């Protein structure tokens, strides 16, 4: 009799443990499905949970996206490993039934579910399909930097504070069964420089940027197209200085259409290039064409327990207005991030610029500066 009671007790414990494990797997599957949809605009078809391991098909993600996806799914409570099926070899246990988000149960040996042909649409979602251009002096984002001008082009400035306020906001994002993703939204920003040598830290120049954009991504390949307005304005204190003739200022304003193509390479490297054409320009004789290209490196390895990641970036631009001469921007530094999840990013940089001024009113001036900055990306 005692043996029967003991056997029954052991059976109950095993069943209880099995039910608890299945419950935990269903919790992980549901949580992971929500993360995929809310943060990445991805469907849960193909998502499997085996014990504390999440498996999800590698549907043509870019290199940076893979890092972000694994980090976000790894932050799901109870998860110890994330496998992108197709990137890593999966050892399947024929006696173990993986839990899926769709049904809460699984069948051994069942193939990955094919995603629906109907696109998944999300609105005002987080993240981005086209990564920021880290060394572009006019990429809309929040930043503050100090620049020492050893060539100012005649603007009469040496120690300069540069600040920016702006962001890329995705209004709608769609994901298709073909693994193509598309989003549309708005980019806006303000870029200002201040003369730190002056008593009142005079505002020297402010540029205003706003316009809609559209972006596509397929694996490591992404495209950004923008239609935007930019205008430039001198600061009142700067205009009132002795020797500054307000009648000589340029009322720089224009609309532009651009296209930038980006490709992410192994080991954290990225290359990009594109062109832009101006229209409705003031002054009217402003030449219309420009080109931009560059390269970036985000280390695949982190330091300080995953809290910091080394980065480096270089951006080159040529404008018809300045006879296609080179405008070069370079930055190197560290990216601060949450080691446990996909998060906002804070980048501390050392900076160098040599070329025609990116500050609108002074676009014809040849300048060079060195500095350091703090850049924030949502």
Q: What is the pLDDT of residues 56-65, one digit of tens each?
A: 987 767 888 8
* Residues pairing with 277 in the sheet: 257, 289
Residue 8 has pLDDT above 60, yes or no: no
Confidence of residue 18 (pLDDT cuts 50, 70, 90): very low
Q: Round to whole Å and give the CA distance between 52 and 20.
A: 12
Where is pLDDT greater, at 51 or 113?
51
The dihedrals phi and psi of 70, each to the nearest 5 degrees, come to: -65, -40
Q: Domains of the chain: which residue ranges?
A: 2-115, 122-377
The first and second tokens of residue 44, run together, are 């849960």
At 278-333, the pLDDT tens digits run 999 999 999 999 999 999 999 988 898 888 999 999 999 999 999 999 999 999 99
Residue 100 pLDDT: 60
**Number of residues assigned to the chain:** 378
CA-wise closest residue to 125 among 40, 182, 225: 40
355: left (phi over 0), alpha (psi -120 to 50) or beta: left
pLDDT the model gives residue 311: 98
Based on C-alpha coordinates, what's the Rg of the chain? 26
Mean pLDDT (the chain) is 85
Residue 343 sits at φ, ψ, to 5 deg, of -140, 175
Helix 2-40 vs helix 63-74: angle between axes, to the nearest 10 degrees? 140
Question: Could you tell me the CATH superfamily of domain 122-377?
Answer: Phospholipase A1 (2.40.230.10)
321: alpha, beta or left, given left = phi > 0 and alpha = psi -120 to 50? alpha
pLDDT at position 103 is 46
| 229 neighbors 258 (Cβ within 8 angstroms) | no
3-class DSSP state for residue 38?
A: helix
- Dihedral angle at the C-alpha atoms of 187, 368, 357, 213, nearest 10 degrees? -20
Q: Taking the alpha carbons of 151, 156, 161, 163 in that order, is the dihedral positive or negative?
A: negative
Residue 325 has what pLDDT?
Answer: 97
Q: Residue 4 burial by CB count (10 A; 0-12/13-18/19+): exposed, middle or buried?
A: exposed
- CA of 231: how far to CAs of 144, 255, 259, 298, in Å? 20, 9, 20, 32
Whole-number pLDDT of residue 185 = 97
Q: Model-level pTM? A: 0.82
Of the listed ranges 40-49, 105-114, 133-142, 222-231, the one predicted with least confidence: 105-114
pLDDT of the residue at 101: 57
Least confident stretch, 118-127, 301-310, 366-375: 118-127
Sheet holding 48-50, edge to edge: 81-85, 53-57, 48-50, 99-100
SS3 content of the chain, % helix, strand, coil (to 5): 20, 45, 35
What's the confidence (pLDDT) of residue 127? 78
pLDDT: which is higher, 311 or 106? 311
In the predicted structure, residue 203 carries a pLDDT above the cut 90:
yes
What confidence tier does 349 reach under pLDDT thresholds 50, 70, 90? very high
CB neighbours (10 Å) of residue 243? 5
Token readout for 86 is 């197709």
Q: Is 60 helix (H, G, I), strand (E, B) or coil?
A: coil
- Note the pLDDT tens digit of each residue in 224-266: 999 999 999 988 888 887 566 656 677 899 999 999 999 999 9
Determine the 3-state secondary structure of 249 from DSSP: coil
pLDDT at residue 340 tops 70: no
Alpha-helix runs per DSSP H in 42-149: 63-74
CA distance 111 to 320: 55
307 touches 339 (CB < 8 A): yes
């Amino acid at each position: 009799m005692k043996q029967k009671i003991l056997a029954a007790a052991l059976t109950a414990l095993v069943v209880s443990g099995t039910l608890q494990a299945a419950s935990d797997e269903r919790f992980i599957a549901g949580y992971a499905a929500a993360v995929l949809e809310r943060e990445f605009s991805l469907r849960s078809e193909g998502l499997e949970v085996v014990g504390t391991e999440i498996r999800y098909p590698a549907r043509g993600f870019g290199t940076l996206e893979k890092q972000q996806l694994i980090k976000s799914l790894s932050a799901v409570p109870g998860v110890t490993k994330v496998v992108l099926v197709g990137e890593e070899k999966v050892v399947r246990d024929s006696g173990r039934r993986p839990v899926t988000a769709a049904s809460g149960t699984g069948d051994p040996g069942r193939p990955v579910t094919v995603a629906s042909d109907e696109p998944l649409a999300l609105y005002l979602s987080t993240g981005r399909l086209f990564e920021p251009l880290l060394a572009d002096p006019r990429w809309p984002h929040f930043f503050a930097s100090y620049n020492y001008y050893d060539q100012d082009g005649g603007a009469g400035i040496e120690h300069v504070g540069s600040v920016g306020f702006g962001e890329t906001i995705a209004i709608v994002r769609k994901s298709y069964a073909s693994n193509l993703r598309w989003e549309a939204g708005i980019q806006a920003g303000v870029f200002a420089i201040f003369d730190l040598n002056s008593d009142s830290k005079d505002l020297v120049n402010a540029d205003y940027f706003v316009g809609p954009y559209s972006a596509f991504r397929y694996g490591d390949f992404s495209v950004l197209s923008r239609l935007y307005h930019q205008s430039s304005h001198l600061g009142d204190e700067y205009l009132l200085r002795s020797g500054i003739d307000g009648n000589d200022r340029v009322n720089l304003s224009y609309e532009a259409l651009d296209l930038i193509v980006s490709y992410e390479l192994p080991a954290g490297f990225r290359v990009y290039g594109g062109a832009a054409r101006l229209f409705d320009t003031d002054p009217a004789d402003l030449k219309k064409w420009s080109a931009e290209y560059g390269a970036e490196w985000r280390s695949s390895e982190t330091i300080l327990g995953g809290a910091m990641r080394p980065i480096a970036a270089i951006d080159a631009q040529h404008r018809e207005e300045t006879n296609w001469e080179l405008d070069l921007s370079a930055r190197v530094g560290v990216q601060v991030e949450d080691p446990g999840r996909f998060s906002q990013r804070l980048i501390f940089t050392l900076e160098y610029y040599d070329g025609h001024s990116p500050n609108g009113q002074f676009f014809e001036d040849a300048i060079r500066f060195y500095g350091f900055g703090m850049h924030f990306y949502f």
